[in-house]
């Protein structure tokens, strides 16, 4: 646990007086989000376990690692931040993430679930361990911090202090459209969208808005696989794939200004923000009686002729 920070001068910015916890904030998108929140006056809990791109490697804990470097960067720029080095896919790590915000800053207003890693394989080569590790870090790693933060906000509401709380979850185009070679990751990221919808519906009564983001940016997760798309810009050009281009939407969603926006999914990359529109009933036929299998097939063929074509799965021919 960290000692409470000394009182500071009034803060300015869209998130002045807000306390924000960002998971996986030692690198890539999470780091950019943490810096962007701090630049808008938020006090930030910078979580990162400091693992390798496949989730292995040295766990750096509270003493250092990439989370410490981001905290140092925020403090050097005049902001306030603390390290949390726990594994957010464990109950202990998720509970201590919330406790760190409360101990250090006395409150928690916004949770950004972002931590994760990849173990890409075609389905026939995908080991159970690679399935479990990726589903665990993304899906469980979203559920547990969300659950512990929500329990805190429910308690606040019951004590007569309904918060203006925000959660931003991190999905992916892989979870929205599918992605060849990423069955484990796509399934987890699709699950995060469903979790977001349920959380938005359940937690509104406690003052909590919950939205999801499908980002794209140049990080260690993407710079090798999508080298061409993630290429750095030429001299003086807009660095379209910089992670910092995604963060302004996250900061706005994490602020009080996003009042009324909940249960939504956004794509964000470069200079573009897109509202993603999800599953809804398309062409339908209710005969009011059971069909034979052959009749069901005939109905399906007719309905599909009128239905919108699905988006292309990433990497599919």
Ligand X SMILES: NC(=O)c1ccc[n+]([C@@H]2O[C@H](COP(=O)([O-])OP(=O)(O)OC[C@H]3O[C@@H](n4cnc5c(N)ncnc54)[C@H](O)[C@@H]3O)[C@@H](O)[C@H]2O)c1
- Which of 2-10, 109-117, 149-157, 253-261 is the region at the interface with ligand X (rule: CB under 6 A)? 109-117
Q: Does 145 bind ligand X (CB under 6 A)?
A: no
Q: Does 172 bind ligand X (CB under 6 A)?
A: yes
Instruction: Tell the smallest beta-carbon distance from residue 114 to ligand X (Å).
Output: 5
Measured torsion, CA atoms of residues 253, 254, 256, 261, in degrees rounded to the nearest 10: 30
Give the burial string for 33-58 (b: 16+ CB within 10 Å, else e).
bbbbbbbbbbbbbbbbbbbeeebeee
With CB under 6 A as the contact rule, the residue among 15, 20, 22, 29 that binds ligand X is: 29
User: Which residues in 86-105 contact ligand X (CB under 6 A)?
Assistant: 87-89
- Nearest 5°: the CA angle 72, 76, 77 is 120
Q: Does 178 bind ligand X (CB under 6 A)?
A: no
d(C-alpha 162, C-alpha 172), whole Å: 31
- Tokens in use for 93? 């790590």
Q: Does 168 bind ligand X (CB under 6 A)?
A: no
Q: How far is CA 41 from CA 8, 27, 75, 188, 240, in A?
A: 12, 20, 12, 32, 25
**Can 185 be counted among the known catalytic residues?**
yes
Instruction: Tell the smallest beta-carbon distance from residue 110 to ligand X (Å).
Output: 16
For residue 267, which phi and psi values (nearest 5 degrees)?
A: -100, 140
Closest residue to bound ligand X by CB? 28
Q: Does 169 bind ligand X (CB under 6 A)?
A: no
Q: Does 71 bind ligand X (CB under 6 A)?
A: no
Q: Does 188 bind ligand X (CB under 6 A)?
A: no
User: Which residues in 203-222 contact ligand X (CB under 6 A)?
Assistant: 215-217, 219-222
Q: Does 254 bind ligand X (CB under 6 A)?
A: no
With CB under 6 A as the contact rule, the residue among 18, 95, 140, 141 that binds ligand X is: 141
Instruction: Tell the smallest beta-carbon distance from residue 165 to ligand X (Å).
Output: 21
Q: Are strands 272-276 and 265-269 parallel, antiparallel or unpaired?
A: antiparallel
Q: Does 181 bind ligand X (CB under 6 A)?
A: no
Tally of helices (H runs) and strands (E runs) in the chain = 9, 8
Cβ proximity to ligand X: between 48 and 120 the closer is 48
**Can 309 be counted among the known catalytic residues?**
no
Q: Are strands 272-276 and 19-22 parallel, antiparallel or unpaired?
A: unpaired
Measured torsion, CA atoms of residues 250, 256, 258, 264, in degrees rounded to the nearest 10: 70
Instruction: Tell the smallest beta-carbon distance from residue 300 to ligand X (Å).
Output: 33
For residue 300, which phi and psi values (nearest 5 degrees)?
A: -60, -45
Instruction: Tell the smallest beta-carbon distance from residue 88 to ligand X (Å).
Output: 4
Contacting positions for ligand X (CB under 6 A): 23-24, 26-30, 47-51, 53, 55, 66, 87-89, 114-117, 137, 141, 170, 172, 215-217, 219-222
């Amino acid at each position: 646990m960290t000692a409470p920070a000394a009182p500071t001068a009034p803060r300015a910015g869209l998130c002045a007086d807000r306390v924000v916890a960002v998971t996986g904030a030692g690198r890539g998108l999470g780091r950019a989000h943490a810096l962007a929140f701090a630049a808008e006056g938020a006090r930030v809990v910078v979580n990162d376990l400091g693992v390798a791109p496949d989730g292995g490697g040295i766990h750096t804990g509270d003493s250092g690692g990439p989370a410490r470097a981001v905290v140092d960067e925020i403090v050097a720029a005049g902001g306030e931040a603390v390290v949390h080095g726990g594994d957010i896919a464990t109950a202990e790590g998720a509970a201590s993430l919330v406790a760190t915000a409360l101990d250090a800053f006395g409150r928690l207003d916004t949770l950004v679930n972002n931590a994760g890693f990849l173990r890409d394989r075609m389905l026939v080569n995908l080991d159970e361990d690679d399935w479990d590790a990726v589903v665990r870090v993304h899906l469980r790693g979203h559920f547990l911090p969300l659950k512990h933060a929500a329990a805190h906000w429910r308690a606040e509401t019951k004590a007569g202090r309904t918060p203006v709380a925000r959660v931003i979850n991190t999905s992916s185009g892989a979870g929205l459209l599918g992605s060849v070679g990423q069955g484990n990751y796509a399934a987890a990221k699709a699950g995060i969208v469903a979790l977001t919808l349920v959380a938005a519906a359940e937690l509104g009564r406690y003052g909590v808005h919950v939205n999801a983001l499908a980002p794209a940016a140049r990080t260690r997760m993407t710079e090798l696989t999508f080298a061409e798309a993630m290429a750095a810009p030429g001299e003086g050009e807009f660095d379209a794939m910089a992670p910092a281009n995604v963060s302004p939407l996250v900061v706005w969603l994490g602020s009080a200004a996003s009042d009324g926006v909940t249960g939504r999914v956004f794509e964000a990359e470069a200079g573009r923000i897109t509202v993603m529109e999800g599953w809804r009933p398309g062409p339908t036929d209710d005969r009011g009686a059971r069909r034979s299998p052959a009749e069901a097939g005939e109905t399906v063929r007719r309905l599909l002729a009128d239905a919108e074509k699905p988006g292309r799965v990433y990497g599919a021919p």
